[in-house]
Amino acid sequence: MEFIKPGINLDFVGKRKLAFGLSVCMIVLTIFLVIWRGGPNLGVDFSGGVLVQVKMDRAVPLPQMRAALEVVQLQDSIIQEFGEEGQFEYLIRVRNVDIELTGLGDKVKEALSDEFGEGVEMRRVEMVGPKVGKDLRQKALFAIFYAILFIAIYISGRFELKWLMSIVMALSLALVVYGATSIGMSVTWLILMALAVTIALCWFLKLKYALGAIIALIHDVTITIGAFALTDREISLSIIAAFLTIVGYSLNDTIIVFDRIRENLRRFRRRPFEEVMNKSINETLSRTLLTSTTTLAVVLILFIVGGGVIHDFAFAMLVGIVVGTYSSIFVASPVLLIWEGGFSGAAGKNAVAKT
């Protein structure tokens, strides 16, 4: 099935500077939003506390609901509307983990019923301790980092047959992580430092395909986090699962493009690298768009009719699929061009395929 006619020749490479500028703007905006909001909006899974979900029979002003909860000493809770419009569901987030959980749902229901009538339905009451939340947060960060690391190792061996260099990179990172952990560095700074070291090692060990893939993956996850910060959505365990899914999906698109670039480098040894890369992107464009469109259609249906429980997960997937498709074309591949000296006028040199 051909979604794009064969022989199409869109100038993707020629738009690389515009694409890089757009990506940099989105990443800077993400950093600004996260700092401005005091960090990511972590859910109870990571921050610890109590989460109460209630369904009302009509819309209720949040200040009145907060005042009604004063009798159960939950007036300082964070209350927000939840789910689809017209469902009248609310999330009550309590940062205090010292409150008595037993019977809390009944107390909240009674307090709200006294104020707003009997149309109150309790959906769930969950509690996560601060130590458990911290442990889950650390494991989530490490899960994303190790996923990106193992992807770098795989791509280095798969496309460049540099398994030894990949092992060297993995051992070097293991030493860095161990050393940083032993001096008590926080997990967030540890992950940021490890990612920076990973990119540096890819550069010095000449693992160009791994470098392009890692930069694209970091780009995708960062912009998805920015979308959550912009819409003030919570990052929970299910969202971490979405991030890992985005990493895998984006990598699939990137590998398709990389594989065609490698094949064409062997076929067209005398052509400039920039021309070979642009031809490869155009040849895989139909497959990329077909895969993205069909996946996006399913996720969009989940987002619309899936309900509040998976609403944020579907939102993360929507953003991740769009950004992942974009990065495979405009971020991962142009990194190879930078490697070959594309921005310094050396893109016209003949490329030699390395296998």
pLDDT in the model for residue 32: 92
Residue 26 belongs to a domain with what CATH number?
1.20.1640.10
Listed residue (259, 263, 243, 261) closest to 324, CA to CA: 243
Please say which residue of 81, 113, 128 terminates a domain.
128
Listed residue (210, 237, 226) closest to 309, CA to CA: 237
For residue 183, report the phi and psi dihedrals to the nearest 5 degrees: -95, 5
Query: Does residue 355 form part of some domain?
Result: no
Query: Does residue 353 form part of some domain?
Result: no
- Name the CA dihedral angle for 238, 239, 242, 243, rounded to a multiple of 10 degrees: -140
Query: Does residue 8 form part of some domain?
Result: no
- Cα(127)–Cα(25) distance, integer angstroms: 38
pLDDT in the model for residue 355: 38
Residue 143 shares a structural domain with residue 107? no
pLDDT in the model for residue 99: 64
Residue 62 shares a structural domain with residue 32? no
Task: Domain count for the chain, please give it.
Answer: 2
pLDDT in the model for residue 265: 83
Residue 215 shares a structural domain with residue 147? yes
Residue 67 shares a structural domain with residue 193? no
pLDDT (tens place) for every residue of the chain, 355 residues total: 555 666 677 788 888 888 888 999 999 999 998 888 877 777 776 766 777 888 888 888 888 888 888 777 776 677 777 766 677 788 877 766 566 666 777 888 888 888 787 778 888 777 766 666 667 777 777 777 777 777 777 777 777 777 777 777 777 777 777 776 677 666 667 777 777 877 887 778 778 888 888 888 889 989 999 999 888 888 888 888 888 888 888 888 888 888 888 888 888 878 887 888 888 888 888 888 888 888 899 999 988 887 666 888 899 999 999 998 898 888 888 888 777 664 344 444 443 344 3
Query: Does residue 6 form part of some domain?
Result: no
Residue 166 shares a structural domain with residue 296? yes
SS3 call for 84: coil
Residue 264 shares a structural domain with residue 157? yes
pLDDT in the model for residue 343: 39
Query: Does residue 202 form part of some domain?
Result: yes
Query: Does residue 1 form part of some domain?
Result: no
Residue 186 shares a structural domain with residue 261? yes
Residue 181 shares a structural domain with residue 74? no
Residue 33 shares a structural domain with residue 76? no
Residue-wise pLDDT for 272-298, tens only, equals 878 888 888 888 888 888 888 888 999
pLDDT in the model for residue 203: 79
Residue 29 shares a structural domain with residue 106? no
With a CB cutoff of 8 Å and minimum separation 6, the contacts of 92 are 51, 52, 53, 54, 69, 74, 77, 78, 79, 108
Residue 150 shares a structural domain with residue 32? yes
For 213, the domain range is: 13-42+132-344
Query: Does residue 187 form part of some domain?
Result: yes
pLDDT in the model for residue 95: 65
Residue 110 belongs to a domain with what CATH number?
3.30.70.3220
